[in-house]
Amino acid sequence: MKIVFKFPKGSSSKHELLFKEGWIPLKEPVTLSSAILQSFPFMFLTTLLTFLVISLFSPFTLEDFGLGEEGFTFTIHFEAIFYVLVIIIVHELIHLIFIPRFFSSERTYLGFTFFGGFVYTEEVISKHRFLLITAAPYLILSIILPVLAGIFGLFNTQMKIVLLIHSLASSVDALVFLLAASQVPADGQLISNGMKTFWRCRDAIEK
């Protein structure tokens, strides 16, 4: 595993080699900005699901969103910013630990940029593992964590809002999950080259 501060660029020679070896490009956004735009519909779904889970234990009030008798108030607390940064880091670490043999891999990267963190690997990943890697942070931090927080009575306004922000930001993961789930066969494997993802069936590898 390597720590980097910019997203690794794809190699044109590797791109050609993958084509020759029978890898098929995944139909996906080619830039981060286009991925964010295409993930907008998922923002509503991921946030709504977390909202409903939290509401089972600690219903939201207008005050949670800054609406009170005196009107709308918006205050940014240092603690809230800290919690957002922590949950971003934990989110990426969850992605990372589900990558097989991530610690010894020379082709797996943990990255930090001005806009946040990322995890990237050029290892060949099975479809089922790829889907698990993609979905794990949302499931753990936006579904399981709220359930545990509710059971143990840990909810406060800041925690609820931070969890909603995390769910909102998980929309790109939801988009990637859907693209891979709908395009790659059950026995498929995936590999990345920069911003491009490729897949092929295991049978094609064995031939």
DSSP 127-161: HHHHHHHHHHHHIIIIIIHHHHHHHTT---HHHHH
Tokens of 118: 């990322």
Task: Return phi, psi of residue 117, to 5°.
Answer: -110, 170
**Are 196 and 15 in contact, with CB atoms under 8 Å apart?**
yes
**Are 160 and 64 in contact, with CB atoms under 8 Å apart?**
yes
Q: Any idea where the domains of the chain sit in the sequence? A: 2-57+75-206
State how far the Cα of 33 lies from the Cα of 181, in Å rounded to an integer. 22
Three-state SS at 109: strand
pLDDT tens digits for the chain (207 residues)?
999 988 888 889 999 999 999 999 999 998 888 999 999 999 999 999 999 999 999 998 877 776 766 766 667 778 888 999 999 999 999 999 999 999 999 999 999 887 778 999 999 999 999 999 999 999 999 999 999 999 999 999 899 999 999 999 999 999 999 999 999 999 999 999 999 999 999 765 544
Instruction: Read off the pTM.
Output: 0.90
Task: Select from 46, 69, 83 the least CA-distant residue to 157.
Answer: 83
Tokens of 110: 């943990």
